[in-house]
Amino acid sequence: MVPEKFIRKVMDVVGTDDVIHSSRVTEVYSTDASPFYGRTAAVIRPENENEVSEILKLANEFSVSVVPRGGGSGTSGGAVPKDAVVIDMKKMDRIEVFPDDMIVFVEAGAILHDIKNALSRYGLFLPPEPGSLKIATAGGFVANNGSGKRGLKYGGIRNFVVGMNVVLPDGKAVRMPSRTHRSPGIAHQIFTGSEGTLGVITGIYFRVIPLPEEKRTYLIHLKKRDNLNRILREVLKATPDAVEYMDSRTSSAIGFEPFDLLAVEILGKDRCAEKIMERLGGHVLEGRDEEDFWESRETLGAEIAKKGTRVYAGEDFAVPFSRLNEFIGQIYRIERETDSEIFIYGHLDTCNLHPAIVSKSFENAMETARRISRMALDMGATIGEHGLALRWEFARGLEIFRRVKYCLDRRNILNPGKFGI
């Protein structure tokens, strides 16, 4: 239990309206989009960096564990508390664009879709874009080192972080501002992908780039999955901006013919890429059809959830390119053996697949997820972009991380239980 004196002191910092405790509302914060559950002792909603700092100082004084939380869209349990206080960062949502420098500063609670809209007014954009664009926050996206589409050409969000404001576990606020597209040192990068275990990210400086004047999306229908690797290799020769994959069941779920398909996004005028797409039989989507397709892709997870019991577990894997077809085949084998239904989609420019499990029961879905995870480990796959958190069996170099954790958070105040710590 959290000491009552801690609650009173936190209320002095943020106000009584921004502390939730002794209420069933806290149960909402005891899980995220993953199937994992914990226990929330209280919820605190700070409005600025100074309040975050004071909260962490008090947490140290009273030995209270703290979990930072963004939009709650994570699927690996990164925001699931273990008898901890949750810091809800969504009130910190300021966005400031520096168009001449092509830099945007955002507070951790800013929604990615709002950032996209703010940048578009200046003819700028941030290439990494997850499917959860409309609900995910900048802080959560960076804390998980997310990517979404466009990973091959531009890299994940780590490649666009040039500065950061962080509150360390002891409450010390550290600012690493940047208005340049290159940033020396590794200090701010330590927190990218740390999943709220090393510090609370309060603000991020992103480098951004101009919006291309042209954009085209090509759909390539795959009549035989055996051809997937060959066709993908040809597509990647065009250095596309994004390559999204949907199996026949997934494409049918959003209103397309039931074929496996590749959606290839080309930004800007590229005649070489156009020739490759034409040679592969790519069909161009234009105008409203193109907009509708990408909107459907953004809401794909919600559409699949309508089919039955959808469990976000065992559904994010970076797979060796050489084993792509085999990996998909093994998923369908597990599907048959577990009597579940699996929708496979993902970002094939980085061979990052999302097998979405729909099952008749939660227990069956979890068993299916466990089997897929074991198969993925045997094939040399790892987590792609949704974070490790409570799926830390996929982690590599844990000993190094534990040493960094000990240096910054010796008392294990921040997000305990993640990465097996």
Residues 360-365 have a mean pLDDT of: 87
- Looking at domain 95-210, its CATH class is alpha beta
Residues 287-305 have a mean pLDDT of: 85
Quick check: 343 and 359 in contact, CB under 8 A?
no
SS (H, E, C) the chain: CCCHHHHHHHHHHHCHHHEECCCHHHHHHHECCCCCECEEEEEECCCCHHHHHHHHHHHHHHCCCEEEECCCCCCCCCCCCEEEEEEECCCCCCEEEECCCCEEEEECCCEHHHHHHHHHCCCEECCCECCCCCCCEHHHHHHCCCCEECHHHHCCHHHHEEEEEEECCCCCEEEECCCCCCCCCCHHHHHCCCCCCCCEEEEEEEECEECCCCEEEEEEEECCHHHHHHHHHHHHCCCCCEEEEECHHHHHHCCCCCCEEEEEEEECCCHHHHHHHHHCCCEEECHHHHHHHHHHHHCHHHHHHCCCEEECCCCCEECCHHHHHHHHHHHHHHHHHHCCEEEEEEECCCCEEEEEEEECCHHHHHHHHHHHHHHHHHCCCECCCCCCCCCHHHCCCHHHHHHHHHHHCCCCCECCCHHHC
Which pTM value belongs to this model? Answer: 0.92
pLDDT higher than threshold 90 for residue 287: no
Q: Which of 405, 411, 408 is nearest to 63 (CA)?
A: 411
Highest mean pLDDT among 17-31, 199-213, 364-378: 199-213
Residues 148-157 have a mean pLDDT of: 90
Average pLDDT, the chain: 92
pLDDT higher than threshold 80 for residue 1: no
Residue with the two structure tokens 């997870």: 301
Residue-level pLDDT at 314: 62
Q: Does domain 215-378 sit in CATH 3.40.462.10?
A: yes
Residue with the two structure tokens 């869209």: 73
Residue with the two structure tokens 């996206």: 141
Question: How far apart (Å, rounded) are the C-alpha atoms in residues 200 and 306?
Answer: 35
Give strand pairing partners of 19: 44
Percent of the chain at pLDDT exceeding 70: 100
- Looking at domain 4-90+410-420, its CATH class is alpha beta
Residue with the two structure tokens 């039955």: 308
Give pairs for 8-13: CB < 8 Å, separation 24+. 9/58, 10/42, 10/44, 10/55, 10/58, 13/46, 13/51, 13/54, 13/55, 13/58
Close Cβ partners of 17 (under 8 Å, ≥ 6 residues apart)? none
- Of residues 54 and 72, more confidence is placed in 54
Residues 191-210 have a mean pLDDT of: 96
Question: How far apart (Å, rounded) are the C-alpha atoms in residues 384 and 2?
Answer: 35
pLDDT higher than threshold 90 for residue 256: no
pLDDT higher than threshold 70 for residue 395: yes
Instruction: Count Cβ neighbours within 10 Å for each residue of 349-362 and write b for 16 or more, e otherwise.
Output: bbbbbbbbbbbeee
Residues 164-175 have a mean pLDDT of: 97
Residue-level pLDDT at 391: 75
Question: How far apart (Å, rounded) are the C-alpha atoms in residues 313 and 376?
Answer: 13
Question: How far apart (Å, rounded) are the C-alpha atoms in residues 67 and 83?
Answer: 10
Q: Do domains 95-210 and 215-378 have the same CATH topology?
A: no
State the pLDDT confidence band at 302, using cuts at 50, 70 and 90: confident
Q: Domain-by-domain residue ranges, the chain?
A: 4-90+410-420, 95-210, 215-378
pLDDT higher than threshold 80 for residue 393: no
Question: How far apart (Å, rounded) are the C-alpha atoms in residues 131 and 56?
Answer: 32
